[in-house]
A and B are shown apart, each in its own frame.
Chain A
Amino acid sequence: MANKKLSVNNSRGKNILTAIMSVISIIYILPVVAVVINSFKANTFVKTDTFALPSSESFVGFANFIKGMTFGNYPFAKSVLYSVVITVLSTFLILLFTSMAAWYITRRDTIVCRAIYFLCVFSMVVPFQMVMYPLSKTADRLGLNTPWTIPVIYLGFGAGLAVFMFSGFVKSIPLEIEEAAAIDGCNPPYTFFAVVLPMMKPTLISVGILEIMWVWNDYLLPYLSLDINEYKTIPIHIQYLKGSYGTVDLGATMALILLSIIPVVIFYLLCQKHIIKGVAAGAVKG
């Protein structure tokens, strides 16, 4: 079969390839389809008839969604809200402060600046397990355990990749523009915000996408840092549902999983081009 694929030059061969890829694509989205159909089934049917469409017997309408909203003694809407707060605030802080710092350390280029840059690159290869225990204790002590303060931790732990990407971009823009601004009497903050930041737009989008995807899906960092009884995010909420053995309602869990995938898919379809570009640009991170 491999041989056939390689020697295709005519349009008939291409049509065959299109057909093969269509079949594979359909198989590829089946897991998501399975989530959709099972979110409308009663709990007992999810395990026994996973791949059957809802029948008159198993169909429960939106009951799973209604049940899922308050399932596990914690309102799902609250988890969604905290996930949004944490993702938006963290991404904003990271974009603003790391772009400022990256521009500064790239342009000053002193020993201290190089040391900061080196530490940032170094932090990219450090797995979270290395710092999670001391980090969660520090977060507790400094009060960084609420959705409004945990973005500081995301800024700290996520700074490496962002500084690396911004500073790569700053190196590629000509110095003359900033010099002209400085000679015209702009102070450094003005130069940065009025001249440099607008030029950074493509990198801002790439970094922003990477950070949104990371923070939104992150489980361990918020799980260890947040005050869990008070605040949950979507991944923590879903992990909790399955963690409560014996009482798991698979139908309701699937309904919540579906609800948590929908915004991601919409976001993806709307900004697909940027997402793919951003992800490819971030591929340097290990």
Chain B
Amino acid sequence: MKNRRRPQNALQRPMVRWSWFFLLPMVSAFAIGFVWPFLQGIYLSFCDFRLISDAKWVGLKNYISVFQDTNFMRSFGYTAVFAVVSLVIINVLAFMVAYVLTREIKGSNIFRTVFFMPNLIGGIVLGYIWSMIFDGILSQLDTSILQESTWGFWGLIILLCWQQIGYMMIIYIAGLQSVPGDMLEAARIDGASGAQTLFRVIIPNVMPSITICTFLSLTNGFKLFDQNLALTGGQPFIIQPDGSAIKTTEMLALNIYSTFYGQGSAAPGYAQAKAVIFFILVAALGLLQMSFTRKREVQQ
């Protein structure tokens, strides 16, 4: 970084004339696909409207209603618990698998291939594969994943583990392979036990991978949508005396989606305020991750 030089004139001067050629396609698409909707989204979260064209500024009204919305708060808590539980399970299992596969055992390439495979299947399809499987099991017990929220919670955890253990495993394998061989050698000569080597030598050396995977699974948990929609869609619902429904397995992203597009919802400004809060939450996690990984930047 320190000795970064200014590009010299032979390259710089003609580039100025070609700026439109290099930048225009990407920048205009970026403006349409991200910058404009983002700014409009922030603006609309302060408005009351049915059609964007007659949006009326109402200040913080939408935000105040969001914080009074018990369903949103419940779904926030549910999402947080879900994200943390899935984070712990996925990372522990992925680390164990990666650890075993870096022991030079026979067939480790095949195992790696198998564990990573579910990662390529899309969330909607995953949801329906597992809903068939859970229904097959639970029908023996005369229940279904749509009838008990406990099944819905653990079902989604199992689904997410199946999908993401392989992904995290890949990152852990890369980390484990970068542990210096002479350190392991030294630990062995000094007579360290397997557990001592693991906790005193290996884990400190793979901390960068652990940081990346922890944050990845945390943000993945918070942003989960497709799998949630396809597996339970928020069911089972508990109907309240006032006619509203508590969607017991509805996570944040799905809650925002149904506020926008669900039946009888006609307050996109209010939904957009939820989306902005959701964005701040996810972005904070992302920025925290970036500051962590920058500090510990090792590979890449």
Contacts and interface: CB of A to CB of B under 8 A. Distances in A.
Interface string B89-106: 000000010011101111
A100 to B, nearest CB: 5
Contact of B37 (A101, A104, A134): A134
A228 B114 CA distance: 35
The size class of the interface chain A forms with chain B is 35 or more
Interface of chain A: mostly helix, strand, loop or mixed: helix
Contact of B230 (A116, A163, A239): A239
A130 interface: yes
B261 to A, nearest CB: 8
B12 interface: yes
Contacts of B293: 284
B104 A133 contact: no
Interface of chain B: mostly helix, strand, loop or mixed: helix
B260 A34 contact: no
A188 B286 contact: no
Q: Which among A5, A6, A179 has the highest number of chain B CB atoms within 10 Å?
A: A6
Nearest to A257: B125
B106 A15 contact: yes
A130 B120 contact: no
Contact of B170 (A38, A116, A188, A280): A280
Interface string A187-198: 111011000000
B282 interface: yes
Interface string B189-223: 00001110010000000000000100110010001
A131 B167 contact: no
Interface stretch (B19-27, B59-67, B73-81, B241-249): B19-27
B275 to A, nearest CB: 5
Contact of A127 (B25, B117, B223): B223
Nearest to B287: A125
B52 A134 contact: yes
Contacts of B128: 238, 242, 253, 257
Contacts of A48: 139
A70 interface: no
Contact of A31 (B29, B101, B162, B276): B162
A65 to B, nearest CB: 16
A32 B120 CA distance: 13
Interface residues of B, number: 104
Nearest to B299: A280
A185 B272 CA distance: 52
Given A97-B25, A182-B14, A188-B14, A126 B120 contact: no
B239 interface: no
A265 B117 CA distance: 8
Q: Which 3 A-B pairs have the closest CB atoms?
A: A156-B33, A50-B136, A217-B122
Given A133-B44, A138-B32, 19 more contacts: A15-B106, A29-B117, A31-B162, A34-B132, A34-B136, A35-B132, A97-B26, A104-B15, A129-B253, A129-B256, A134-B40, A138-B36, A175-B11, A188-B18, A238-B124, A239-B229, A276-B116, A281-B300, A286-B286
12 contacts: A18-B107, A31-B129, A38-B132, A48-B139, A100-B25, A125-B285, A130-B38, A156-B31, A191-B11, A261-B121, A265-B117, A281-B300
Interface of A: 2-3, 5-8, 14-15, 17-18, 21-22, 24-25, 28-29, 31-32, 34-35, 38, 46-48, 50-51, 93, 97-98, 100-101, 103-105, 107-109, 116, 119-120, 123-127, 129-135, 137-138, 142, 144, 152-160, 163, 168, 175, 178-179, 182-183, 187-189, 191-192, 213, 216-220, 234-235, 238-239, 242, 250, 253-254, 257, 260-261, 264-265, 267-269, 272, 275-276, 279-281, 283-284, 286
